[in-house]
Structure 1
Amino acid sequence: MIKHDVGEKFPGMRDHILGEESNMFTNTAGESVEVTIQSTPEETKLLLTKVLDENQEAAALLAEALHATPDTVLDSRLQDLNFDLDMDSIGIWIDPIDSTSEYIKGIEDEEPKSGVYWHGLQCAVILIGAFHRETGSPVLGVVNQPFSKQDPESKSWTGHSFWGVSHGDFHCNSLLSSQGSSTTPISRNGLAFTMSASEEAHTKDAFSSLGRVHFASGAGYKILCVIEGHVDAYILTKGSTFKWDTCGPQAILKSLGGGIVDYQKWKSSSTDAENGNFLASAGLKYDKPDSEEPVSEGQKWSNSGGIIAYIDAEVLKKIHGASQD
């Protein structure tokens, strides 16, 4: 849906919209079907029935949703943005649902710890990021959290979208007031991090000695916790995230003065001076794979050196020693 709508508005970008999911499906009869939005709901319904084993009702409901015009309210700050950006030089990475397992489980009653949900629907997010195809640098990012808050009486959910722009000297985002300060500063004692529960024990111990560690679900959500200020950094030592996970969030972090860098490269910068020089020019790139060496298709677009997401570079200096353990 996102690829279709963006491609319609910006035809020059249509072949440069990339992501985790494929629109090729195989039904129970073994027939492969490429799903694309057709000119009319009826045509889209006919295509979807092939995928859904002739389930007319489900196909009709999906087609109706795909062709509906969403009722959206544009952030007023977006209307005031004024900067030059050649849309024909832009590529897009999309993850239509990050933390799929949490979405499938549908856990609604998880309680946060210091603002961080370790599991639950709150961890399921939609990630969209735009990058310069020549430089690979992220410039625009959106993180949509459709299950942000639940009404205790009606049980209905309210979503929350975060966006950021970082293009040259221009920086703007949904988390800053007109005075340029955070609208909801978070007060807490000591450092805090998000990490994956699958990290090695010695890595967990090293960073736990420096502050509180939250083992939350979903890469996108863990970075969102950095964006919102619930934690100081998201640390991942393994290459288990992908370009579609980090492009959008990195653009938002850049607009806040932070970023996302390759963990292994950051770890190898052994002194504060080297670390500072590294951060001044570093950042994940999105125009090509990390390695020119042949890798499996599934790992082609991975952030192979791991990642560390942050807002304040001073925090990285404080924790750099722990990465050497």
Structure 2
Amino acid sequence: MAGLLQALVGVSEKAADIARLCRREQPLFQLLVAEKTGPDRNRRFLQDFKTLADVLIQEVIKHDLGKEFPELQGHIHGEESNEFRSPEGEMVTVRVCATPGDTAALLLAVLAPEREAAELLADAVHRDVALADTALAGVELSIPLQDLAIWIDPIDSTNEYIRGSEDVGPVDGIAPAGLCSALVLIGAYNRHTGCPVLGVINEPFFRRDSETRRYGHHGQHRGSRDPTDTCTGGPHPRRWQGRYHWGVAYGDTRLSSLSPPGPSLVPRVVLSRAEAPAVQAALKRLCGGRLLFAAGAGYKLLCVILGLADIYVLSEGSTFAWDACAPHAILRALGGGIVALAGALQARRAGGTRTPPELVYNRPIDGADGAERWANCGGLVAYVDPQHLEAVLATLDTVPGL
């Protein structure tokens, strides 16, 4: 299991490299966007995109983990279909081939005529990642691999990845939007109980290198060009530095790369700006008149993990298993969790005194199609401090319609 944890971190680093490469190379950025349709479309957004970066990262993670841990083959799940439409309209099945040359040839079917871009991507796919993390190397765990399955969100907050500004400043330590909210999420769960046991969150765009950030600003929309931007081959490449976080919660074992955040007297709640007005109004009263806002479910969950917020509330079923599995494992490692909001309120109204039910990751929704099979129906509440969870549930219990 310790080897799996190190492998998850390693593939998250490779994924982050690919995400940065696709954002950096303007031909990739312009060509590799396809609109989701049908049951794979997230109904919350008018336009929901998948990128080749999404698909390729997912397939790289599946390939590398399945090769190293055969027990996991067939149990590594992701958000994206690996079908991608080429410029000529043909469907291409994206996968990792035996050699960089073969992978480049397959990617060229999508990228043609951008041969150099296909070769750059293929090299990144086949490059070995070396981790220099002594703390991670010293972790010893024993969890049967045959009990585990994996959820991957290759690039959470895809809209911000595609269109998000690189220069959004934080408000109370939290970026309200922008490229920094695009994350790689990899979570392992017990395939029998659905309980999350291991999570890795990678921030590919944590910060820009101090030597390059002063140069040209990447356009926020496809097709924009800046003569000093590396995406257009300019002389001053913009380099991004990433970072990762991990957590393990299995049996009595609680391990994490992070320490539990310190308590705060008044809970700080982070929300989507699209959250229901009644929910916002109730929580604003609880929080002393101030709410925090951010983009991306994974990023809002990360804000709770890092102690930038105490609670993340979402009253709708617009997140999915791949959004929550990795952060949930880290939150459990820190003493918290993610409860199903509707179930928690129902139990509370029935007079239940036990810990509210938490999300699980092995139960598709009967009768649903496509991505909706794995939606977190009824919303969620993420927390570290159980007292904050109780205060929020007591407040939301008064909101009509919840």
- TM-score w.r.t. length of structure 2: 0.74
Contact 1:272 1:317 in 2 (8 A): no
For 1:83 and 1:60, locate their aligned partners in 2 and report how far apart those are by CA, in whole Å.
Answer: 38
Aligned partner letter, 2:196: P
How far off is 1:54 after superposition?
4.2
For 2:381 and 2:92, locate their aligned partners in 1 and report how far apart those are by CA, in whole Å.
Answer: 39
What corresponds to 2:294 in structure 1? 216
Aligned partner letter, 1:80: G
Give the alignment of 1:120-159 within 5 angstroms: 120-155=178-213, 156-159=239-242
SS at 1:278 equivalent? coil
SS at 1:144 equivalent? strand
1:270 aligns with 2:345: no
For 1:72 and 1:91, locate their aligned partners in 2 and report how far apart those are by CA, in whole Å.
Answer: 23
Deviations 1:160-179 (A, max 9, x none): 21100000000100013xxx
For 1:186 and 1:114, locate their aligned partners in 2 and report how far apart those are by CA, in whole Å.
Answer: 16
Deviations 1:257-302 (A, max 9, x none): 1000101111223379725x033xx31111121x32x123131110
1:93 aligns with 2:151: yes
How far off is 1:67 after superposition?
1.1
For 2:384 and 2:171, locate their aligned partners in 1 and report how far apart those are by CA, in whole Å.
Answer: 21
Matched residues, percent identical? 42
What corresponds to 2:160 in structure 1? 102
Aligned partner letter, 1:199: E
What corresponds to 2:358 in structure 1? 283
Give the alignment of 1:250-265 within 5 angstroms: 250-265=328-343
Contact 1:149 1:159 in 2 (8 A): yes
1:196 aligns with 2:272: yes
How far off is 1:186 after superposition?
5.7
How far off is 1:79 after superposition?
2.5
For 2:147 and 2:349, locate their aligned partners in 1 and report how far apart those are by CA, in whole Å.
Answer: 37
For 2:355 and 2:300, locate their aligned partners in 1 and report how far apart those are by CA, in whole Å.
Answer: 23
For 1:188 and 1:310, locate their aligned partners in 2 and report how far apart those are by CA, in whole Å.
Answer: 12
What value does the CA root-mean-square deviation take over the aligned residues? 1.8
For 2:149 and 2:360, locate their aligned partners in 1 and report how far apart those are by CA, in whole Å.
Answer: 12
Gap change, CA 1:80 and 1:41, over 3 Å in 2: same
Contact 1:45 1:60 in 2 (8 A): yes
Contact 2:79 2:371 in 1 (8 A): no
What corresponds to 1:323 in structure 2? 396
Aligned partner letter, 2:249: S
Deviations 1:35-70 (A, max 9, x none): 211111111111111122343222111111111122
Aligned partner letter, 2:304: V
For 1:126 and 1:272, locate their aligned partners in 2 and report how far apart those are by CA, in whole Å.
Answer: 38
For 1:262 and 1:315, locate their aligned partners in 2 and report how far apart those are by CA, in whole Å.
Answer: 15
Contact 1:186 1:230 in 2 (8 A): no
How far off is 1:81 after superposition?
2.4
SS at 2:185 equivalent? strand
State which of 241, 255, 258 in structure 1 corresponds to 2:319.
241
Deviations 1:109-163 (A, max 9, x none): 2111111110111111110000111111111000111111224442232212110
Contact 2:164 2:177 in 1 (8 A): no
Structure 2 residue runs without a partner (length 5+): 1-59, 214-238
Structure 1 residue runs without a partner (length 5+): 177-181
Deviates more, 1:145-154 or 1:86-95: 145-154
Query: What is the count of residue pairs matched by the alignment?
Result: 312
SS at 1:64 equivalent? helix
- TM-score w.r.t. length of structure 1: 0.91
1:118 aligns with 2:168: no
What corresponds to 1:179 in structure 2? none
State which of 165, 181, 184 in structure 1 corresponds to 2:248.
165
Contact 2:263 2:385 in 1 (8 A): no
